[in-house]
Amino acid sequence: MSVQTWTWILVGVTFALYFGIAIWARAGSTKEFYVAGGGVSPLANGMATAADWMSAASFISMAGIISFSGYDGSVYLMGWTGGYVLLALLLAPYLRKFGKFTVPDFIGDRYYSNTARTVAVICALIVSFTYVAGQMRGVGIVFSQFLQVPIYWGVIIGMAVVLTFALLGGMKGITYTQVAQYCVLIFAFMVPAFFISMQMTGNIIPQIGMGGTVEGGEFLLDKLDKLHVELGFSEYTSGKKSTWDVFAITLALMTGTAGLPHVIVRFFTVPKVKDARKSAGYALLLIAILYTTAPAIAVFSRTNLIETVSNTSYSEIPEWFKNWEDTGLIAWADKNGDGKIQYVAGSALEGKKPVYTDARGVSGERMVSNASEAKNELYVDRDIMVLANPEIANLPNWVIALVAAGGLAAALSTAAGLLLVISTSISHDLIKKQLKPNISDKGELTAARVSIFVAILIAGYFGINPPGFVAAVVALAFGLAAASFFPAIILGIFDKRMNSQGAISGMVVGIVLMLFYMMKFKLNMFGGGTSEDWWFKTSPEGFGTICMLVNVVISLVVSRMTPAPPQEVQDMVESIRIPSGAGEASDH
């Protein structure tokens, strides 16, 4: 059967499973809609957390970025993995004891202020919309290639799917759907990795295969280093980023993880604090399976791409190249007229994306009107590397289709979690807690569902018009979370003297500073700028660290210059730090 037929079958079967679960787990109360009734087992919650965590950025884009940036791409592995450990050990148990299932709810009560709650709602919406844009982009890429529809139609189809099971089940439906999605995405990620590792190195375990030898006895990484040098790139295993920027990006991703509202809420879906700790451990183990495999897939796909495409005549190019060319995610401009693809260092295009014309070149290639003067003739979107990898390696059609189903599972699971955060922030933290305190349970549920509908429309727009690659967009969301939420949460737990004035000042300054920097250097607004103009030589992805430190300093200074929190708030902060097992607190 063809790839498209296999894709329809596998995507159809998995989607039928997701919809069936959503209908079975339909939420009937706000508690079920927000926290799945608080009765999810630790293992199921661990699987759901892992699926929620491993978004399109992890599944589709992380290995793609590592495949192009090599050693420098390790910041994503270190930051996201370390951040999850930080969240699980330092924040989740305390927030679970506090008993508030949204970050704005925690901040509103801890800082005894509706102003603080409103600022937190605004921050949650900014972070979540930035993050969900990357997920919808991932959905669009998968649908556009494997179902042969334009990217914008792919995004629209994804919007409809997420909307259906988010509206029906809320957190209850999403949790059990995410259990199924984890099984699909991890199977889809690992199967081609096993195939390709065996094919290239003779070792079925990809983590070992990456460090193994290829035909001729040469180490795979040594071979890739040589290929890079021959084409004018720096060695794959050497880093180009400064030590400071690597540190800044890693720390921003770590602390951003700890402040992500859609991950924190998962620790409220289990009955006890002890179960929250268990589910965190399960999730870390399940996440590690994908995260330790991603560098291997990056090495395999990079090597295969160079050997398959570089200096190859377009007339002899494999069919996968022409298929992806039609999506606009890979492009070739025959600058020297020799009919061969010259893949060397340098930007092939003027601008971030190819601008196609209606004409075809002498070799039959799609013509681009924005080719640069650089010698490099090949443009490759980082986001296609995991999806195209099985095709490049000539794997069976069912494996290629399986990767498509896994990519959709990863993107849709995280998108659903983020949409729930958005709807909860509006219906619970804004409407219920502030605007209409007497709203009925049914009215609050209706407001939550309307909020999801509006949110999916906005998310879809950003998915069709994204500001960059999936992982790059997601990295900015982590920077925003680090700049706004992390100091307010960590100081709220460990500093009794932190008051509302300090928290509000820190959050506002932190997120405004991060938004300004992101817009200036990533979206080329406010005059734009190059890497030479970066403040403190820090990239936009790493600037969340600077903003976080500014937030901490402002929060501490302002809190010490203003009255201390009420005594009952200080006592409450003291009580949530009682060790698990030391009395009744551990069961709340």
> Residue 31: its pLDDT value, please?
55
> Residue 221: its pLDDT value, please?
93
Q: Tokens 């980082």 correspond to what residue? A: 382
> Residue 33: its pLDDT value, please?
57
Can you tell me the mean pLDDT for 397-411? 83
Lowest mean per-residue pLDDT among 335-339, 416-420, 576-580: 576-580
Can you tell me the mean pLDDT for 345-369? 83
Give tens-digit pLDDT for 113-167: 989 999 998 888 888 877 777 777 777 777 776 667 777 888 888 788 777 766 6
Can you tell me the mean pLDDT for 478-499? 92
Can you tell me the mean pLDDT for 178-197? 88
513 in any annotated domain? no
Segments forming the whole domain that contains residue 50: 3-219+246-302+391-493+566-587
Q: Using CA atoms, how far apart are residues 227 and 232, in angstroms rounded to an integer?
A: 9
Read off the pLDDT band of 588 (50, 70, 90): very low
Tokens at 78, concatenated:
């270190």
526 in any annotated domain? no
Question: Quick count: other Cβ atoms within 10 Å of Cβ 498?
Answer: 28
333 in any annotated domain? no
At a CB cut-off of 8 Å and minimum separation 6, what does 159 contact? 136, 456, 457, 459, 460, 463
Q: Using CA atoms, how far apart are residues 361 and 368, in angstroms rounded to an integer?
A: 9
518 in any annotated domain? no
The neighbouring-strand residues paired with 378 are: 332
Task: Report whether pLDDT(197) > 90.
Answer: yes
Read off the pLDDT band of 244 (50, 70, 90): very high
Written as one letter, the residue type at 378 is L
Q: Using CA atoms, how far apart are residues 241 and 249, in angstroms rounded to an integer?
A: 10
456 in any annotated domain? yes
Whole-prediction pTM = 0.82
424/585: higher pLDDT: 424
131 in any annotated domain? yes
154 in any annotated domain? yes
CATH code, 182:
1.20.1730.10
> Residue 574: its pLDDT value, please?
87
Number of domains in the chain: 1
332 in any annotated domain? no
Q: Using CA atoms, how far apart are residues 220 and 201, in angstroms rounded to an integer?
A: 8
Best CA proximity match to 225, nearest among 300, 296, 303, 298: 303
Give tens-digit pLDDT for 325-345: 877 788 898 888 888 999 998
